[in-house]
Each structure stands twice: as C-alpha cells, then as structure tokens.
C-alpha cells in the first residue's frame, strides 16, 4: 500500500509517501510544496492545488493521510493553514482519493510513544523506523521538519491500518 502523508501549511506543505508491504514500511519519496511568502493568498492556494495534483498523479497513492489543524495561540496562522487544508481536501477529493485525518498528538504517540514528543524525537523515531534515507535533501532550504511530519502522518496511518498502533491511541 502507498500512503501519501501531508503536513499542511500555506507557505510550506510537507508531503511524504511511504510504501507498506507485509509489515515493512519504506520511505519512497518526500518533499515540499512551497509558495511565495509575499504572494497573493488566492494565488498561493491555487499553487498548492496545482502542486498537489502533480504529486497525486505522479505518486498514485492508495490513500492520503493529513494532519489535522492544531490551534494554539496564533489565530492568523490557524486561519491560513485552515484555508490550505480546505484546498488540500478539495484536491484530494477532486482526484478521487480517500483521505483520513490524524491529530498531531495521536501522530506523535503512534510514532514515538509520547503524544507530546518534540520534532527532534519524531525525526529520530522516523529514521529508526524508515531508515537512514529519511534525511534533509541537499538543497539549502529544505524545511525538513515539514517533510518529516508528513512522513510521520503516513506512517501513523500505516500503523493504524496494520493494527500495530498503540492501543491507547
């Protein structure tokens, strides 16, 4: 099974594809959808739609897993991420893929065993579970946190599907 994980954002949306075969999980591909920070909000959303459509058509996942919006203190950021999530959900539905959503704490709990794990802990756990290939790419601006979060979403879904998921989640 191929699972496309998505860590939504307006400026940077992380994505990662994992392949699951007979209980083995492998990172197949990952990257970023980046938009111009100074660009018009509508054009940024169109760009997310266009780039995600390309990824869906190229990678052809069996399912798409997305991280749910976590709202802490910055309402402006939450609103723009919510807009990006709307475009992502629209794109996935338009391309006729099923989508599942996971809360950030659930993803962290499944991947690390700790629902309050920090990004470094998530990345270390991903490298152990998916192998050394899961590293920042060599171009200067990678925002690997976003790609790692996307791979974590995909792996969370893989564990959930295979019942490897921690029972308390």
Counting every residue written for the chain, the total comes to 169
Q: Where are the domains of the chain?
A: 2-162
Q: What is the pLDDT along the chain (169 residues), one digit of tens a residue?
A: 999 999 998 889 999 999 999 889 999 999 999 998 888 989 999 999 999 999 999 999 999 999 998 766 667 778 888 999 999 999 999 999 999 999 999 999 999 999 999 989 999 999 889 875 655 555 444 567 889 999 999 999 999 876 544 333 3
Q: What is the pLDDT of residue 140?
A: 43
Q: What is the pLDDT of residue 39?
A: 84
Homologous superfamily in CATH for domain 2-162:
Ribonuclease H-like superfamily/Ribonuclease H (3.30.420.10)
3-state secondary structure the chain: CEEEEEECCCCEEEEEEEEEECCEEEEEEEEEEECCCCCCHHHHHHHHHHHHHHHHHHHCCCEEEEECCCCCCCHHHHHHHHHHHHHHHHHHHHCCCCEEEECHHHHHHHHHCCCCCCHHHHHHHHHHHHCCCCCCCCCCCCCHHHHHHHHHHHHHHHHHHHCCCCCCC
Q: What is the pLDDT of residue 31?
A: 93
Q: What is the pLDDT of residue 38?
A: 85
Assign 73 to helix, strand or coil.
coil
Q: What is the pLDDT of residue 106?
A: 94
Q: How far apart are CA 1 and CA 54, in angstroms?
A: 19
Q: What is the pLDDT of residue 50?
A: 97
**What residues pair up with 25 in beta bridges, in sequence order?**
20
Q: What is the pLDDT of residue 10?
A: 87
Q: What is the pLDDT of residue 71?
A: 62
């Amino acid at each position: 099974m191929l699972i496309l994980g998505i860590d939504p954002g307006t400026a940077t949306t992380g994505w990662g594809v994992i392949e699951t075969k007979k209980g083995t999980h492998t990172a197949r591909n990952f990257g970023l959808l980046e938009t111009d920070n100074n660009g018009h909000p509508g054009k940024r959303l169109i760009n997310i739609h266009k780039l995600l459509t390309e990824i869906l058509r190229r990678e052809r996942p069996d399912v798409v897993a997305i991280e749910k919006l976590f709202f802490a203190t910055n309402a402006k950021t939450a609103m723009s991420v919510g807009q990006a999530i709307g475009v992502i959900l629209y794109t996935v539905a338009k391309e006729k893929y099923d989508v599942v959503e996971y809360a950030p704490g659930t993803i962290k709990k499944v991947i690390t065993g700790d629902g309050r794990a920090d990004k470094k802990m998530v990345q270390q756990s991903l490298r152990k579970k998916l192998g050394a290939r899961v590293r920042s790419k060599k171009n200067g601006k990678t925002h690997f946190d976003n790609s790692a979060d996307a791979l974590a979403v995909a792996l969370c879904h893989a564990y959930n599907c295979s019942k490897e998921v921690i029972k308390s989640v």
